[in-house]
Amino acid sequence: MFGSNQVTTLGKLPMPYKVLFTGFLLVIGLGLMMAGAQIMLTHGMADGKPGLSKEDIVYSYYGNRSGSKLESAMTGKMKSKAPDADRFLLIQWARDGAPINQWDKVGPILEKNCSKCHDEESGFDMVAKQEVAVKLAEVDHGASISSLTRVSHIHLFGIGFIFLFVGWIFAMAEFNYNWKLILIATPFIFLIADIVSWWLTKFWPSFAWLTMIGGFGYSLASTVMVVTCLAQMWLPRWTDKP
């Protein structure tokens, strides 16, 4: 049932290995929970609402290309803060790509309408400062290629090693043979799907669902493996077997 060539089972391991593997699995379990929390706090808030949604993933990787922050402020929350003529000029400036040679026109408008709130004390963006205004006028293109390459390779190397060791330990568990093979393979497959989905979402926002499935898939598979391993190393049902 467990495969004819299984070397040993977790319940029968010498104590030093049990302690070593338990320490590792507990740290990994905690790490997984922290990773989940971090995703909720960073990506989860990308659309301004708590909780991870498809929009969060689209905003993080594809960006919000409907316009710049400056433009959405001038048509939304900050609409009442400047007369129409000034607002249109600011929107036009943002749409033109924030040309610096028009700053002598734009700067004073921001100074006059905005800096009474957006000042040093309030902690809000200092919109009347040139570099801040230029940044707010940029259209958000989401994650850059260079940051995606960086995060992708860190994830593949780092998480690949985690799954190697978790799977290695789990290979010694008492488990239905075919399910064991599936569980060991699952995190690797979902990890690749996850990374590929970031790149696809960067260019085609409709792929965001793949990111959600990918993250969920490998969290689930590794949780099953970690919990099974810990139980079989310490619960009498497995350790007391003749």
Which residue in the set 10, 13, 28, 82 belongs to the binding site for ligand HEC (CB under 6 A)? 82
Cβ 218 vs Cβ 211: under 8 Å = no
Show the binding pattern over residues 94-123: x = contacts ligand HEC (CB under 6 A), - = does not: ----------------x--xx-xxx-----
* Range 1-40, binding ligand HEC (CB under 6 A): none
Report if residue 81 touches ligand HEC, rule: CB under 6 A.
yes
In the numeric block, the tokens 């009498």 are attached to: 236
* Residue closer to ligand HEC (CB basis): 25 or 82: 82
Q: Which amino acid is at 230?
A: L
CA dist 229 and 231 (Å) reads 5
* Residue closer to ligand HEC (CB basis): 100 or 181: 100
Q: Which residues contact 112 (CB under 8 A, 6 or more apart)?
A: 86
Which residue in the set 28, 78, 172, 208 belongs to the binding site for ligand HEC (CB under 6 A)? 78
Total residues at the site for ligand HEC (CB under 6 A)?
17
Report if residue 136 touches ligand HEC, rule: CB under 6 A.
yes
* Residue closer to ligand HEC (CB basis): 34 or 117: 117
* Residue closer to ligand HEC (CB basis): 118 or 202: 118
Q: Which amino acid is at 135?
A: K
CA–CA distances in Å: residue 108 to residues 32, 59, 62, 91, 115: 50, 32, 33, 15, 10
Cβ 3 vs Cβ 214: under 8 Å = no
CA dist 222 and 96 (Å) reads 49
Q: Interface with ligand HEC by CB under 6 A: which residues?
A: 69-70, 73, 77-78, 81-82, 110, 113-114, 116-118, 124-125, 127, 136
